[in-house]
A and B are shown apart, each in its own frame.
Chain A
Amino acid sequence: MAKNELNNQVRRLRFEHGQMTQQQLADKVGVTRQTIIAIESGKYAPSLPLAFRIARTFGVPIEQVFVYDNEL
């Protein structure tokens, strides 16, 4: 059975960018804090535009924020 998972480095990047809070990141990318929490915990896979907005906020390419693991 194939197991698909989208891992992310949002939490680590937040702390590397001056201890940015979830609320600050949420305000910058235009979502609620609950959505940031859900993304960080892997419960919600963001849309492509939102993923790009998060990556641009941290000033890194999108593949450094989100990693798609496809384990067969």
Chain B
Amino acid sequence: MNKTKGESWIYFFLGLACFLIPGAVAVFIAYDRGISFAPVFMFAGIVIWGGLFWLFPFIEKKVRKSQKKITFDERDQLIHKKAVMAAYVVLWLYFVAACVITWCVVGPHGSISVNVMPLTLLGGLVIFTLAQGLATLIQYGRGGKDGEE
């Protein structure tokens, strides 16, 4: 498993975790409507996403600095580029869906909480991460026919 593929697995599972944790919190909030955990949840989400997801490559780069072995080449670069493009498409579809669904749910004369805006943005970031990781893994073929044994 090369560097990019390893990172993609991490991105994928981090993205998935960022979905599952807020999902569980949302269920809890729906169950207990008396107290709103939205600000706490948002803060936790940003810390998890921003801290772990963004800092990991820098930490990993520091650790691997001493190694001179080639771990990233033109093929990895091409795969990364395609994955980012795919993630942008998914992100765009997500924002379109978020807008349309909100309009359908609250109606043309309804109103929504301002908390929905940062939550939508956070969801977009997570969706982007998840889609990029998944697209990268699909392009690597999960190591099957590439014979990365």
Contacts and interface: CB of A to CB of B under 8 A. Distances in A.
Interface of A: 26-27, 30-32, 34-35, 37-38, 41, 43-44, 46-47, 50
B75 A35 contact: yes
A28 B64 CA distance: 21
State the 6 A-B residue pairs at the shortest beta-carbon distance, nearest first: A31-B73, A35-B75, A37-B147, A32-B73, A32-B2, A35-B73
Given A32-B2, A32-B76, A34-B2, A43 B70 contact: no
Contact of A31 (B70, B141, B147, B148): B70
A43 B71 CA distance: 19
B143 to A, nearest CB: 9
Given A26-B70, A27-B70, A34 B145 contact: no
27 contacts: A26-B70, A27-B70, A30-B70, A31-B75, A32-B2, A32-B70, A32-B71, A32-B72, A32-B73, A32-B75, A34-B2, A34-B75, A34-B146, A37-B146, A37-B147, A37-B148, A38-B75, A38-B146, A41-B145, A41-B146, A41-B147, A43-B141, A43-B145, A43-B146, A44-B75, A46-B74, A50-B74
A34 B4 CA distance: 11
B67 to A, nearest CB: 13
A31 B77 CA distance: 11
A38 B148 CA distance: 10
Contacts of B148: 34, 37
Contacts of A32: 2, 70-73, 75-76
